[in-house]
Amino acid sequence: MKYLLIDDNPIDLMVNEKVIINIDRKNEVIQKRSGPEALSYINDSDNSLPDVVLLDIKMPLMDGFQFLEELAKQNLAALQKMTVYLVSSSIDPFDQKRSSENPHIKAFLKKPLNRRELEKEFQE
């Protein structure tokens, strides 16, 4: 499986990559530090699309919800082929409600990610 991690925090990127690799060493993990950087990656026809996107909510320049809106405008076909999880340390009920109402988001995952929760989520 190919995973795209989008998060402005390098420590979260490192930890989340380790969790994903520990699930299966064959997993491929791509890291992007911002929404615009991730959009460029997804829209580059030389790159194969990730199977799963783990998207942080709170990022500078473009938050996770803005990223999804922009991707839907630019490349809806790509968005529909990927499974998107929103990842956040936010306990704001509004963020959780907003993610549950977005048809492009499969689930809201809380940081820090752990192997057991990810394995359970990815099996559903």
Whichever domain contains 38, its CATH number is: 3.40.50.2300
Chain segment 7-32, per-residue pLDDT in tens:
999 999 999 999 999 999 999 999 99
- Give how far Cα 50 sits from Cα of 27, 40, 46, 76, 80, Å: 11, 13, 13, 14, 11
Tens digits of per-residue pLDDT, 75-102?
999 999 999 999 998 778 888 888 899 9
Q: What is the pLDDT of residues 63-79, one digit of tens each?
A: 999 999 999 999 999 99
Q: What is the pLDDT of residue 6?
A: 98
Q: How many helices (H) and strands (E) does the chain have?
A: 5, 5
* Domain interval for residue 36: 2-123
Query: Looking at the 3D structure of the chain, how many domains does it have?
Result: 1
